[in-house]
């Protein structure tokens, strides 16, 4: 435990040093939800307190809820597959008190039109003779890798408390520019024997440092989220789960308070204040979701995202070890899309 604390201190201190020499950003972390699973997306992106998945948008401490070793592969298409994400992860339960996991996600945006220009000049006078324009196809992409560790530090009959940490690295290509980022997320999960789960997570606790070139570096500011999950067995064949996820408590998400439920324009005022300045956002800018599990086999899910967009989906468990999930979602900035996944448990 002492070694873990020392490593965390070094990472946080290193992040603060990088913070001095880099430009601050509230948008550099927006791709996280593009790497989410259908199970997470279908309930309004709000399953942080009750999801065992080691996806980037989730609470690192929640992976302690994983009951078995699992392997996952998922695909989400956007705008009729004009771009897409592919995700995979593996979760390994070490013992009753600790879980480790690894996540890899890839975002591909192919076929972007790029206009090029070639100027022909007179070799003597250097005057322009002609200009030739053309269009070529370029692409952008992002590779995200997360390593996650969660441990239960208190385990009593009525409640337990877990801590989690996620170490993130990413490579982002924007046409001809390439950036490499590194960051750290922390999370806490408090659970009771009555089905209540309360989570708190801080993403980019060190700021996510991204190196683009010798002259330009970027720091994604920390974001903090509060989440709640409730799970109850209604009868022997029916389970109910309810979810809530707050907006960014620090006001660093880049979301605009005046454009909730519709597209945000670049000239809109950014919600730079925290929940302390806008307490109503705890409810009007939050994510909500619900899930019903029938006979431990069929799941029906629906939710409302923080931008007031309706989501829905479902899943089916096959052969007691395999599950197939589907989701349809309207995210805050993108049009409606779908996601499918396959999970296998040992």
Contacts of 265 (CB under 8 A, 6+ apart): 259
pTM score, whole prediction: 0.83
Helix (H, G, I), strand (E, B) or coil at 64: helix
Q: What tokens were used for 346? A: 């040992």
Question: What is d(CA 182, CA 86) in angstroms, rounded to the nearest whole number?
Answer: 20
Each residue's pLDDT expressed in tens, for the chain with a length of 346 residues: 444 444 444 444 444 444 445 577 777 777 888 899 999 999 999 999 999 999 999 999 999 999 889 999 999 988 777 889 999 999 999 998 999 999 999 999 887 767 767 777 878 777 777 777 777 777 889 999 999 999 999 999 999 999 999 999 999 998 778 999 899 999 999 999 999 999 999 998 876 778 888 888 888 888 899 999 999 999 989 999 999 999 888 888 765 444 444 444 544 444 445 677 778 888 888 999 999 999 989 999 999 988 788 999 999 998 878 999 999 987 655 678 889 999 988 7
Distance CA 72, CA 322 (A): 10
The rounded distance, in Å, linking the Cα atoms of 141 and 135 is 20
List all residues 6 or more positions away from 278 whose beta carbon is below 8 Å from its beta carbon.
251, 257, 271
The answer to whether residues 57 and 146 touch, using CB atoms and an 8 Å cutoff, is no
At residue 330, the pLDDT reads 75
Which pLDDT does position 228 carry in this prediction?
98
- In terms of Cβ atoms closer than 10 Å to its own Cβ (0-12, 13-18, 19+), residue 45 is buried
Residue 7 confidence (pLDDT): 41
pLDDT for the residue numbered 11: 44
Q: State both tokens at 109.
A: 């945006």
**Into which CATH architecture does domain 2-345 fall?**
Beta Barrel (2.40)
Cα separation, 301 vs 323, whole angstroms: 15
- Residue linked to tokens 């993403």: 203
Residue 222 CA to residue 224 CA, distance in Å, equals: 7
State the pLDDT at residue 143: 95
Q: Is 50 exposed, middle or buried (0-12, 13-18, 19+ CB in 10 A)?
A: buried
Q: Which residues of 13-23 are buried (b: 16+ CB within 10 A; e: fewer)?
A: eebeebeeebe
CA proximity to 104, closest of 51, 170, 150: 170
Tokens at 140, concatenated: 């952008």
- Provide the pLDDT for residue 259: 45
- Nearest 5 degrees, angle CA 153-CA 159-CA 160? 15
d(CA 175, CA 208): 21
Position 162 scores a pLDDT of 97
Neighbours of 31 (CB within 10 A): 17
């Amino acid at each position: 435990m002492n070694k873990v604390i020392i490593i965390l201190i070094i990472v946080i201190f290193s992040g603060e040093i990088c913070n001095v020499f880099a430009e601050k950003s509230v948008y550099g972390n927006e791709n996280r939800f593009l790497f989410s699973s259908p199970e997470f997306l279908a309930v309004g992106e709000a399953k942080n307190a009750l999801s065992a998945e080691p996806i980037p948008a989730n609470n690192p401490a929640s992976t302690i809820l994983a009951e078995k070793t699992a392997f996952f592969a998922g695909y989400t298409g956007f705008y009729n597959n004009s771009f897409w994400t592919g995700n995979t992860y593996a979760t390994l339960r070490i013992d009753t008190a600790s879980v480790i996991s690894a996540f890899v996600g890839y975002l591909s945006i192919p076929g972007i039109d790029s206009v090029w220009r070639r100027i022909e000049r007179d070799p003597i006078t250097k005057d322009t003779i002609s200009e030739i324009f053309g269009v070529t196809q370029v692409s952008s992409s992002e590779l995200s890798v997360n390593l996650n560790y969660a441990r239960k530090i208190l385990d009593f009959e009525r409640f337990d408390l877990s801590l989690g940490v996620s170490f993130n690295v990413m490579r982002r290509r924007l046409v001809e520019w390439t950036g490499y980022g590194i960051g750290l997320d922390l999370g806490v999960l408090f659970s009771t024997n009555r089905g209540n789960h309360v989570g708190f997570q801080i993403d980019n606790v060190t700021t996510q440092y991204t190196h683009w070139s010798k002259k330009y570096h970027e720091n994604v500011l920390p974001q903090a989220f509060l989440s709640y999950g409730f799970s109850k067995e209604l009868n022997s064949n029916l389970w109910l789960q309810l979810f809530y996820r707050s907006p960014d408590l620090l006001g660093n998400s880049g979301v605009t308070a005046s454009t909730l439920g519709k597209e945000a324009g670049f000239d809109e005022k950014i919600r730079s204040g925290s929940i302390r300045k806008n307490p109503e956002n705890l409810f009007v800018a939050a994510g909500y979701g619900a899930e019903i599990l029938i006979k431990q086999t069929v799941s029906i899910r629906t939710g409302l995202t923080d931008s007031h967009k309706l989501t829905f989906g479902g899943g089916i468990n096959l052969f007691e070890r395999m599950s197939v999930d589907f989701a349809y979602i309207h995210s805050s900035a993108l049009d409606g899309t779908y996601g499918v996944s396959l999970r296998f448990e040992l």
